[in-house]
Amino acid sequence: MATLLIVKAHPLDAQKSYALRALEEFQTRYASLHPEDKIEVVDVFEDQIPALDKPLFEAMEAAKKGVEINPEQAERLERYNELTKQFLAADAIVVINPLWNLNVPSQLVSWVNTINVAGQTFKYGPEGSIGLVKGKKLLHIQSNGGVYAGQDPAAQYIKSIFEFLGFEDIHQVFIEGQSANPSQAQAIYDKAMVKIDKILESF
Ligand SMILES: Cc1cc2nc3c(=O)[nH]c(=O)nc-3n(C[C@H](O)[C@H](O)[C@H](O)COP(=O)(O)O)c2cc1C
């Protein structure tokens, strides 16, 4: 039994978002292809994702030194570590987000921070950093108002982070151009679903 982790970083629902409609379809098809697998969902807009701020940073430093931290810091640090463990326990990851101001939503950045942990997901080597996360797959689905073909900073960011961590099996699907060509919205979605279906064959 494998574990699929879905990281949902879109605040709307499938009735209002093409990206979430694609996610719903993906999840249904994945579940029928892999009925024995476990599917976990992290909703970065709904679930607690501790932002990497001063109290959390201080808590991390204190924990390393064995210094006592206050209960609120301890709770946030525990949740942070829980997200790292959940990521490490998954076999495949799906990240889904809209493109906002050429970036991913900041809530997704907070989740990404939880999977970049020196000593656990990467390490510092004599010739640079070494990704420690091997054998996992990533599917990144992003909806863009315009057309960027993977060259926008958000798509590049997600690709770079997962490559940095050691991922070698990375797929990206862009549902893009609906704002530029609203009359083509359904056709754009259908084209993206064909790509997702193809990826599902080996995901
Ligand atoms: C705050 C905000 C910022 C956005 N910034 C961009 C942008 O920089 N580039 C772009 O192409 N589309 C941008 N868009 C459009 C979204 O990417 C678009 O809403 C999304 O593709 C719609 O997908 P959905 O149907 O999954 O919600 C932005 C939308 C919002 C709400």
Instruction: Name the residue with the closest Cα to ligand 1, atom 30.
Output: 100
Residues 6 or more apart in contact with residue 80 via CB below 8 angstroms: 50, 56, 60, 114
Integer angstrom CA distances of residue 177 from 3, 95, 135, 161: 32, 19, 33, 25
Q: In the prediction, which pLDDT does 155 show?
A: 98
pLDDT lower than 50: segments of the chain:
none
Q: Determine how β-strand 3-8 pairs with β-strand 92-98.
A: parallel
Instruction: Name the residue with the closest Cα to ligand 1, atom 17.
Output: 144
- Please give the number of the atom of ligand 1 that sits closest to the Cα of 143: 21
- What are the φ and ψ backbone dihedral angles of 171, each rounded to 5 degrees? -120, 140
Question: What tens digit of pLDDT does each residue of 127-142 get?
Answer: 999 999 999 999 999 9
Statement: the pTM of the whole predicted model exceeds 0.95: yes
Q: Which domains does the chain have, with CATH numbers?
A: 3-200 (3.40.50.360)
Q: In the prediction, which pLDDT does 64 show?
A: 87
Instruction: Name the residue with the closest Cα to ligand 1, atom 10.
Output: 145
